Structure 1
Amino acid sequence: MRELLGVNPQVLALALARMSESVGNSFLIVVLPLFIATDFITGATFGLTEVFITGFILSIFGFVNSPLQPFTGRLSDSTGRRKVFVLFGLVLIAAASFAYSLATTYWHLVGLRVLQGIAGAFIIPTTVALVNDLATEDNRGGNMGTYNTFRLVGFGVGPVAAGGVVAAGPYSIPFGASTVTITGFDAAFYFAASTATLAFLLVLTLIRDPEIEPSEDEGSVYSAFVVFDKRGENLLDPVFALGAVSFFLAVGIAVFATLGDIVNTRLDQGPEMFGLQFAAFVLAQILLQAPIGRATDFYGRKAFIVAGTIMLVPTTLIQGLIPDLTLFSGLISDPWLMFLARFLQGVAGAMVFAPALALAGDLATKGNSGTTLSVLTMAFGFGVAFGPLLSGFLVAWGFVVPFAFAAGLAAIGVAIVLTQIDEVIVPKRAIPLLGKVT
């Protein structure tokens, strides 16, 4: 298997664990709004609308886990251990997922999402650092791409299955001489807890900490966030530059998420088509992350990041121009044109994120993978959380405005990649004209 996929077997095991956990965690994206809309959840809203509370509950995961990631990344570096942090995070995820079945008020849900956000802060940077530690400079891109592919498979499958699990309830389960009945919501929460438990068992039995020396860096937890290049070769520190590009990418992806009703009205389509369009980005990522990551091991990281950020500009902007475009009139319907734009945006994302993680891994000094890579994972998490809020605000000035703004950020990302980021390792088959090797 290692020869076939070109990745470390432990990375495959870790990828399977993250896929399992992601299936259950992404269930909640669909299940929680449905759950909040039922009579199961009541309580004071302090003047806030149900719609606002729903959005707040969903987004708080990102706003909690993102700023905590540097702390957990640095802690894993200082102890020289990764596995224990992943296991602890999975325990929190499983416990919170189960506890949703006991929740009765809005603020129970807020508290459980905060707990899951804390869990994500333990899992996300330490798993990426573990992949980096297990990889070598010759296969780091392939390992990162494969890991992200499996994780995204779980993220894509969860929402598709979640609605069916809820709709098929209640369930009657024989238990001795009696029968236990559980609601569709309880079944979904129990399933989410079980996927996190399976991930825990996979990590516990199949993953071992690589031999790394604990970091001796005595700086503050945010010492990785160096804005300017200390070497004086560029204006920006390369890790900060990669983090900025990751943030711009995530914003471009996420502005679409909160515009479902507007998109459906403009394109005269149903919610099923919107779901398909939303999933198109993930589909492209699943198909391309692994081969692109592997390709960066031969051709270098920067060429793909440059191509991806350039491609991100038109694929983001065009989403805001549909159905005003007449160029494709008669060739493809507006809903499928949106699907195509989202898919191509996913292609752009696949060319940016895994190569950026691999390049950050190349830049990480020995024993500091958690701290260094947390810059990118935190930036991406903030972008995913910030994008929906941004689009909800900017769409008041016109449908195209949030997409144009995100495309503008992507254009800034192109300039940053071209001028502030260099290769660290000499590619086996270098692509010319894309900068020197530092």
Structure 2
Amino acid sequence: MGIRDIDRRILALAFARMADAMGNSFLIIVLPLYIASGVVSGGTFGLAPALITGIILSMFGFFNSAIQPFAGNLSDRSGRRKIFVIAGLLLLTVANFTYTVVGSYAAVLLIRVAQGVGVALTVPATVALVNELSADADRGSAMGIFNTFRMVGFGLGPVVAGGVVAGGPYEFLGASITGFESAFYVATVSSLVGAVLVHVLVSDPEPEELGEEAGEDLSIAILDREREGKLLDPVFTLGVASVFMAVGIALLEPLATHINATLGQNATWFGIEFAAFVLAQVLFQAPIGAWSDEYGRKPFILAGLLLLVPTTLAQGFVTTPAGMVVARFLQGVAGAAVFAPAMALAGDIAKGRSSGTTLSVLTMAFGLGVAIGPLSAGYLAGFSLPFGTSYAAPFVFGAVLALLGFLLVYSQVDETVHRGRSGERSEAEPAAAD
């Protein structure tokens, strides 16, 4: 399925997610610089400034992950996705703007919490809509196209943000606007544009589009009591594997200083290395999603997790900037092979209105891994190994997690797409996730 064939509502959601992701990724660059610039002051709750900065940056991921299952469940019970998406984007709009009028650590911490809540409201309802608006035979392609747009926004944000901050102050209607304020305004407008796009172009699916209704029990299962020989629920298993994958992906950023010193590179090279992962995601998400519709979900998920092992490990052992770029690009290919097929497989399992609850397991898991990754990298970087670079330990840890994820998916997840003797694609009847 190409972009021209996709439901226009899915395309609108993809554009909205791209705008929102660009605004949010602005803060990856801007927020640490903003806190370190001296603009933020006041009490630090008795903690060192560096520690409170780390807590502020991590708070988004933890609140985002913790609230997503509840938000997904509520959207299932209400049967209304659109209102959750718009509410989350509007909350992000207000939060992004509020950075420009506060100056204390406590206020910045509260804004970061609000951003986490906003994304938690938006993401499960958005992916549930994509799942419900896509046909069974095209679900992987729809997920791939949707996430491609998200990664385009995510990749553009940090690139543009650095230029916006460095180019300030700006004169606008006779007023002077700092680079930081300008960046927050861009993030504000981005989330507002996303909300407007969803309001104008997206509608909730009609009851007949949903198929069977969700059951009364919309809880998240951990153990599998229905499939013989299986211990863990397949969606929960995919969630665990997603945590492991996200941890490995997020190890690089907090080690920037060590990596630059070891590889003898500057910040520009580090930016290229960071972007290499995003570029691979943009190039491979859509085609791999489409291939998973044709050839099955599980082979791509397994191949991606297996490829994550050497590509994550290599980042702790390469000795040149070019080597790091290659490792990050291949890690991006591995991530693309996991993400869209895993979302599509979970979507195959989610029937009727249970999409929000079921898919929130994966979105929550990825957000949790992104929050855990930098913390584990900072902690493990202090452990020296008898081989490799001084910061190799975090990447060894990430590679081990990817291998565990591979083993879990291999043993606990069943394929949902099969071909009959005629060679025609058919949907399996997977065990219900709830």
What is the TM-score normalised by the length of structure 2?
Answer: 0.92
CA distance in 1, matches of 2:272, 2:87: 34
Change in CA separation of 1:229 and 1:238 when aligned onto 2, cut-off 3 Å: farther
Q: Deviations over 1:112-165 (max 9, x none)?
A: 000000001101111011100000111000000000000011011011011111
Q: Does 1:396 align with 2:372?
A: no
Work out whether residues 97 and 184 of structure 2, in 8 Å CA contact, stay in contact via their aligned partners in 1.
yes
Work out whether residues 140 and 341 of structure 2, in 8 Å CA contact, stay in contact via their aligned partners in 1.
yes
Work out whether residues 213 and 351 of structure 2, in 8 Å CA contact, stay in contact via their aligned partners in 1.
no
Q: Partner residue of 2:388?
A: none
Unaligned runs of 5+ in 1: 324-333
Q: Partner residue of 2:411?
A: 419
Change in CA separation of 1:437 and 1:341 when aligned onto 2, cut-off 3 Å: farther
Q: Deviations over 1:373-407 (max 9, x none)?
A: 00111111100000110111111112211111111
What is the TM-score normalised by the length of structure 1?
Answer: 0.91
Q: Partner residue of 1:280?
A: 276
C-alpha deviation, 1:58, in angstroms: 1.5
Work out whether residues 422 and 437 of structure 1, in 8 Å CA contact, stay in contact via their aligned partners in 2.
no
CA distance in 1, matches of 2:94, 2:73: 25
Show the 5 A alignment for 1:8-23. Answer: 8-23=7-22
Work out whether residues 214 and 351 of structure 2, in 8 Å CA contact, stay in contact via their aligned partners in 1.
no
CA distance in 1, matches of 2:2, 2:272: 34
Q: Does 1:373 align with 2:359?
A: yes
Change in CA separation of 1:3 and 1:117 when aligned onto 2, cut-off 3 Å: closer
| Amino acid corresponding to residue 226 of structure 1 in structure 2 | I
CA distance in 2, matches of 1:430, 1:310: 31
Change in CA separation of 1:4 and 1:88 when aligned onto 2, cut-off 3 Å: closer
CA distance in 2, matches of 1:89, 1:322: 41
Work out whether residues 252 and 406 of structure 1, in 8 Å CA contact, stay in contact via their aligned partners in 2.
yes
Change in CA separation of 1:193 and 1:423 when aligned onto 2, cut-off 3 Å: same
Q: Partner residue of 1:183?
A: 178
Change in CA separation of 1:62 and 1:302 when aligned onto 2, cut-off 3 Å: same
Q: Partner residue of 2:294?
A: 298
Show the 5 A alignment for 1:150-169. Answer: 150-169=149-168
CA distance in 1, matches of 2:33, 2:247: 25
C-alpha deviation, 1:218, in angstroms: 3.5
Change in CA separation of 1:27 and 1:3 when aligned onto 2, cut-off 3 Å: closer
Work out whether residues 230 and 237 of structure 1, in 8 Å CA contact, stay in contact via their aligned partners in 2.
no
Correspondent of 1:352 among 325, 328, 338: 338
Q: Partner residue of 2:45?
A: 46
CA distance in 2, matches of 1:360, 1:104: 43
CA distance in 1, matches of 2:69, 2:325: 35
CA distance in 2, matches of 1:216, 1:384: 30
| Amino acid corresponding to residue 104 of structure 1 in structure 2 | G
C-alpha deviation, 1:49, in angstroms: 2.7
Q: Tell me how many residue pairs correspond in the alignment.
A: 417
Work out whether residues 80 and 367 of structure 1, in 8 Å CA contact, stay in contact via their aligned partners in 2.
yes
C-alpha deviation, 1:46, in angstroms: 3.1
Unaligned runs of 5+ in 2: 385-390
C-alpha deviation, 1:62, in angstroms: 0.6
C-alpha deviation, 1:429, in angstroms: 10
Q: Equivalent pairs: percent with the same residue?
A: 52
Q: Does 1:260 align with 2:256?
A: yes
CA distance in 2, matches of 1:320, 1:430: 48
Q: Partner residue of 1:329?
A: none
